[in-house]
Amino acid sequence: MSNLASYAIFFFVLLPVSYPSNLFWQPNPKRAHWEAQQVIPAILNYQHDFYSRKSQFASTFKELTGSTENYPFGLSKTQLMNDHTIENKFHKFKLSADLDQITVKVTAKRETFKSYTAIIVVANEKSENDLARGICQTDQPSIVPPDNPQLIEDKIQCPSGSSFLRPF
């Protein structure tokens, strides 16, 4: 067996299985954060489009996407836990809707990841298309998402302990 084959077997087979904390396969907080930045806006965009078509928010993921199995939100495998909750390997996404707002609570599965709360709220009841939306992320890694953001003077304000995630 060549030296290259020996190194390959060691690096890809023996080292990952024998290393005590198996760091090679640990979820990366940066990857989890990056993926959340992709998934949450996608869910909000679907909700915005749904509201534009039907003048109401979707109350379940099935209603939002028209499917019980195929969720176009995530990059990693996303699965349905119940009508209001989907999850991937990093976070659980819980949807709640009423007449004038939709909230998505995104709970980290590990203490090293951040959690999020996303919201779309009808900002002006006179105009159905006047929606304010935003995403608040915990300032520190947490398995508890931020409290619901508030709409103040037509702008989303994040609660203490969280900050506004970039506009999308």
Name residues whose C-beta falls within 8 Å of residue 155's C-beta, 6 or more positions apart in sequence.
132
Tell me, yes or no, whether 9 lies in a domain. Answer: no
Tell me, yes or no, whether 10 lies in a domain. Answer: no
Tell me, yes or no, whether 152 lies in a domain. Answer: yes
Q: CA 32, CA 50: separation in Å to the nearest integer?
A: 27
Tell me, yes or no, whether 96 lies in a domain. Answer: yes
State the residue for tokens 């999850």.
87
What are 17's two structure tokens? Answer: 């299985």
Report the number of distinct structural domains present in the chain. 1
Q: What is the pLDDT of residues 17-50, one digit of tens each?
A: 444 444 445 668 888 888 888 889 989 998 998 9
Q: CA 105, CA 115: separation in Å to the nearest integer?
A: 8
Tell me, yes or no, whether 130 lies in a domain. Answer: yes
Domain range for 84 is 27-164
Q: Indicate whether 81 pLDDT > 90.
A: no
Lowest mean pLDDT among 70-74, 90-94, 158-162: 70-74
Tell me, yes or no, whether 106 lies in a domain. Answer: yes
Tell me, yes or no, whether 14 lies in a domain. Answer: no
Q: What is the pLDDT of residues 57-71, one digit of tens each?
A: 999 988 887 755 555
Q: Which pTM does this prediction carry?
A: 0.78
Tell me, yes or no, whether 49 lies in a domain. Answer: yes
Q: What value does the mean pLDDT take over residues 101-120?
A: 95
pLDDT for residue 22: 45
Q: CA 57, CA 47: separation in Å to the nearest integer?
A: 6
